[in-house]
Amino acid sequence: MSRLEEIPGFSPERSILWEALEVIFRWRKFIFACVTVVCLITAATVFLLPKWYRASASVLPPERGAMDMNLSSIFRGGVPFLGGELAIPFSASPSDVLVAIAQSDAVLLGVIQDLSLGKRYKTSSIEALLGALRGNLSVKTTTEGIVQISYEDKDPKRAYETVQSVLTNLDRVNQRRGSTKARANRLFVEGRLSETEKALQGAQDSLKSFQLANRALNLDEQTKALIASAATVKAQVVADRIALATLKRELSETHPEVQKLEGKIASTEQELRRLEERGSKGSFLGVAMAALPGLAQELAIRLRNVAIQEKLFELLTEQYEQAKIQEAKDTPTISVLDYPRVPEYKIRPKRLKMVLTAFFISFFVSLGMVFLREYFERMRTADPARYQAVASLASRIRAELVSPFRRNSKGQNG
């Protein structure tokens, strides 16, 4: 049977849909052949494609250690109204920094050396090896801040080894980076400690000379306590100034944190000057230092200078020891949440998906070819002149497309 009307029981009214079904039925063998051939070719091709595997690992975002914070983080307690510790903010999160390091040449060159990728890929070009690594390596941050590292390869064991090597070299580079920062911090604290030691020695010599010249002069216990309190406040101001210097190495002058700390220092200094110059009932110092007699006032100032330098020397000595310990540390700098495993299942090619895609594409393309052929057949019957014009145009286009190949073939034969 060549028409659907010949099928017993079918007597629908003529419509566009019915005519479309009639065309499909008439060309059903052609459509079936096209779809079958395309699907078989696709299936054969898909089974010839190599399998790809993916190994993955998850790394927790690094925590900012004590040495990644400014120096005022150690000046805790002492003066209640000066606030708590101060942390240095960064423009990028620790996870973002870790992602950038994981994709850097420093890490990938270590992977190339560890796995001897030059022999594996049979090339000595570093750029080619780096390009091959980056092409299959994926490092991204989840919304929770966890860093995910994955690598795709045709060999599942090789994918696992590459991710493991990335983790090892990431930790190595991060350790070296942290050691460099710790060394810079240690040198900075060491310089401040040396300056404070000299200032302390000078203040002690000045006080000793003054006391030798004025043996009978002494201060009462209340005044000495007030001097110690003033020295603590002054030491905190100096500590905040050290913190400000550290902040300015990380942030710009207009950053809110920099401006906030500058305002805090100015406010504290203003309060200290006010308390030193005049008394205030219920104030921190209680009485004005300026109200002391001439020699007693000079002695109090010298005692205060010694107390300030002693407090700074004490705090900086503690920080210097912490800096040396931090510099000598050799502990892992990254915390792995999920270690990589040798993948058991491939991630591509997705054979069923590709065959189904080929099926639908070939089906609709063959339908288009069938309806186009039917359209021209009806045009030839209903409007021969228009059909000849379209056929002539198609012949000219075909000739234009084929003529360059013919010229090349003649030139090669000649």
pLDDT at residue number 250: 58
DSSP 226-295: HHHHHHHHHHHHHHHHHHHHHHHHHS-TT-HHHHHHHHHHHHHHHHHHHHHHS--TT-SSSS-GGGS-HH
Is the pTM higher than 0.75? The answer reads no
Contact 57, 163 (CB under 8 A): yes
pLDDT at residue number 73: 40
Contact 326, 182 (CB under 8 A): yes
Give the whole-angstrom CA distance, residue 84 versus residue 164. 41
Contact 169, 57 (CB under 8 A): no
Which residues, given as ranges, of the chain have pLDDT below 50? 1-2, 9-11, 64-91, 216, 278-289, 291
Residue range 131-190, pLDDT digits in tens: 999 999 999 998 888 999 999 999 999 999 999 999 999 988 877 776 666 677 677 778
Residue range 34-87, pLDDT digits in tens: 999 999 999 999 888 899 999 999 998 766 443 344 333 433 333 333 333 333
- Is residue 348 packed enough to be buried (19+ CB in 10 Å), middle (13-18) or exposed (0-12)? middle
pLDDT at residue number 94: 77
pLDDT at residue number 62: 66
Contact 326, 66 (CB under 8 A): yes
